[in-house]
Structure 1
Amino acid sequence: MWRFLVLLREDLDAARRRDPAARTTSEVALAYPGVHAIWSYRVFHRMWRVPALRLLARLRSQATRAATGIEIHPGAQLGRRLFMDHGMGIVIGETAVVGDDVVLFHGATLGGTSMTHGKRHPTLGDGVLVGAGAKILGPVWIGDGAQIGANAVVVKDVPARTVAVGVPAVVRQRPQTAAPEDLFADPAIYI
């Protein structure tokens, strides 16, 4: 139980740190749908791991979707300190894997391109930033610290610490002057 409470606190702290509009922890806890969706997911994911509770987990996740506008399949694997800015329209599919310290902006989709069983959604490394409206489709891999530009459509792997922009997305190298620890900079400055 203690570990679960630590995760909930980390979710609050991640939102406070990454959103300059966040004034208080209470405001984040009460008024941020991204935080509510993550908290619900954490409960439903535990239920999903028990085969007899899978239907209930799916039904409850759909109720959270109706309340927050964010759809997270309970079978997805989300890392720690995920922040969903604004949140509305975010979709995370069943076999998606999301690393630690990831930022997803509104309208981002981690979706599939196949109707077959097995791995069909993306894997995001640690420190990935996904811009508003971006679509990452299929079992692609997004490397640590990569940035996906707004409205990009990614259907191929993206190496670590690069920027992917466009439809279909094209990978661009960051300039050498970019600091490695600057994982959340505006992708537009690298284009």
Structure 2
Amino acid sequence: MRKRAIYIEDGAQISLIRVMLTDGSSANVIHRLAFACARTKVLSPFALLFQHINRIYNGCSIGTKANFAGGLALMHPIGVVINSKVIAGKNITIESGVVIGDEKGLSPSLGDNVFIGAGAKIIGNVTVGNNVKIGANAVVVKDIPDNCTALGIPAIARLNER
């Protein structure tokens, strides 16, 4: 029987099980299970159970209906709080201590290829475009257009130079 492995950038080989047990991967898998259960009336009680497990095991609170298109990477999920109404595109990278929350019942939406640095906050009815980088501890309260980097409190967006 062949052992399944994943290769990382430097050519090192690590097992698939080891990857799944890392905190970011397990938080993502548990959230995906909660999201799948939340979409089915019969399984919806299990969604809250999975959310609670994620809170205890990984130290993060991701709403059961938070919708990520694919490619979610939680680098260090401790302290991450994501509202249930968040809708996000593909390839989202989130570092520790990030809050993506609602204000007055309105939640942010994220485009594709978004990086959110440690401690950043995205609050309210905000649209974050595609190919955006949000710096550590930035507070985003206004829309960020495509291909920008946002830094500061409140965050100021600057167009990425190529």
TM-score range, shorter chain: 0.7 to 0.9
Q: Determine the structure 2 residue equivalent to 1:5.
A: none
Q: Determine the structure 2 residue equivalent to 1:66.
A: 56
Once the two structures are TM-superposed, the CA of residue 147 in structure 1 deviates from its matched residue by: 0.7
- Whole-angstrom distance in 2 between the partners of 1:93 and 1:48: 14
Higher strand share: 2
Which of the residues 38, 43, 48 maps onto 1:48? 38
- Whole-angstrom distance in 2 between the partners of 1:131 and 1:102: 11
Query: Counterpart of 2:122 in 1: which secondary structure?
Result: strand
TM-score normalised per structure 2: 0.87
- Whole-angstrom distance in 2 between the partners of 1:165 and 1:111: 18
Q: Determine the structure 2 residue equivalent to 1:7.
A: none
Q: Determine the structure 2 residue equivalent to 1:126.
A: 112
Q: Which segments of 5 or more consecutive residues in structure 1 lack a partner in the other structure?
A: 1-11, 179-191
Q: Determine the structure 2 residue equivalent to 1:183.
A: none
Letter in 2 for 1:173: L
- Whole-angstrom distance in 1 between the partners of 2:52 and 2:130: 30
Higher helix share: 1
Q: Determine the structure 1 residue equivalent to 2:84.
A: 94
Native 8 Å contact 1:145 1:162 kept in 2: yes
Native 8 Å contact 1:99 1:127 kept in 2: yes
Shift in CA distance, 57/24, structure 1 to aligned 2, threshold 3 Å:
same
Native 8 Å contact 1:108 1:132 kept in 2: yes
Q: Determine the structure 1 residue equivalent to 2:102.
A: 112
Q: Determine if the alignment matches structure 1 residue 141 to structure 2 residue 131.
A: no
- Whole-angstrom distance in 2 between the partners of 1:139 and 1:23: 42
Q: Determine the structure 1 residue equivalent to 2:155.
A: 169
Once the two structures are TM-superposed, the CA of residue 25 in structure 1 deviates from its matched residue by: 3.9
Question: What value does the CA root-mean-square deviation take over the aligned residues?
Answer: 2.0
TM-score normalised per structure 1: 0.74
Q: Determine if the alignment matches structure 1 residue 38 to structure 2 residue 28.
A: yes
Q: Determine the structure 1 residue equivalent to 2:20.
A: 29
Q: Which segments of 5 or more consecutive residues in structure 2 lack a partner in the other structure?
A: none
Question: After TM superposition, which residue ranges in structure 1, 4 or more long, deviate above 4 angstroms?
Answer: none
Letter in 2 for 1:29: M
- Whole-angstrom distance in 2 between the partners of 1:97 and 1:160: 16
Q: Say how many residue pairs are matched.
A: 155
Letter in 2 for 1:66: I
